[in-house]
Chain A
């Protein structure tokens, strides 16, 4: 017996074969691929944080946007912070309820009908529509008739968020166990009641998390905002009329400026925007974490 084990060992391990070497090279290539991703990511985050942190302050986040020629220590990005929050919030208020309702239709009412599959497929396709197209779309149907406004920007961002919310909510509704629905029907509840009071609460954590991720993406979008909101330097509290501005639009405007002050304010705005996106993303992860723990 010991001799046989010895024999087997030799056969299985095959020391220093070309096959094993190739296998090791392949593993190294995979790790190198991951390192290739870390390098630009680290480079970008380092630059944004080091250049942005030197200018950012409470005053920067609230002061008005000065003319581009002025140095970095003058003014800030107040109107852009305000515009970003107002416009993104308005887009969220419009897109989230519609998105969840559409997901409810696909998962709860649609069945395997052609229309249901078409809506699901088109929502997938719509996530790939370039954001600038949403800007042109809202320009063509809204801005031409009613002029630039925060609302127009929110409509464009809402169109961008809608398919993302539909698909993520649908995935969450799919995870709700069928037994929960059947138990509620057995108690005599109507379908709408079951959906609203049993299925939706069970999937809520995942839906909130998916929506937060959609909001994080929308807050950083520039292209749909350019043709719908315009870019102004004065704060506009009325989100329903008159041109407005957002952090992303201001960064785009400042990036092509030759003035050091304008560029520095651009970096400050970039750090603010990245921070907003990160906070929303972490919030989404926390919500998911809490929900996935709860049933156990």
Chain B
């Protein structure tokens, strides 16, 4: 069991999300930076799809009520485990009664905490992820508060030794503001000049951005179509509403929408976009679907490498 002793402004249980209920209008949800949660899981000795905590907007503390192995990943944070600094992307052993304090998030946006055995909340539609708009999943369908105690599952194998960490070159290049995109289902509706604007100017993540979508500020694109008959969207879809300012849909976005989709963020780069805070700048670079799927395969194989090295080191 782990207990929230001081809750940050945002804290939820997330895993890899719901991948079979879109026809019922249920978004996939799950960790907004899925790579970070999965890598943290591997470093805690878990299956990559185990549930962990998604943490944002400020500091807080949790207490381990049992001996545990954990790992932090995603946003950079000033983390302390009972007086000692807790390094990111590293296997750390906690004793029963130890307190983990995140003093502040110093770069990036969403921090992940994976605990060996995973957070053991009920599976809803195949996932333990919290879907806040629908008030289901995770812990009672809500954000975690001070005093909440979360059950931790049984360890499935031997976690890596203390101090095991991931090589930096296996992680996404979070510090670059480059986000690759492929042409969206309505790419052809947009003029060449709109495309030049999208790929040659800088966009800034607006304050109006959350797990549903990131609104982008910068040069407006003229939307020639207005609103279209609704069709499916996916996280990473870049839609252009009437005001011309792009919105990148994220994990909890509705499954269908009527704004034209000019482009879709390459899944390999979705973590880079997800970790951008309001005020951070990004640039888009157009690639083909083949290049994008190759990049995703590389990202998947990097994750696999982290898992392999972690499980080999534990022998």
A and B: bona fide binding partners: no
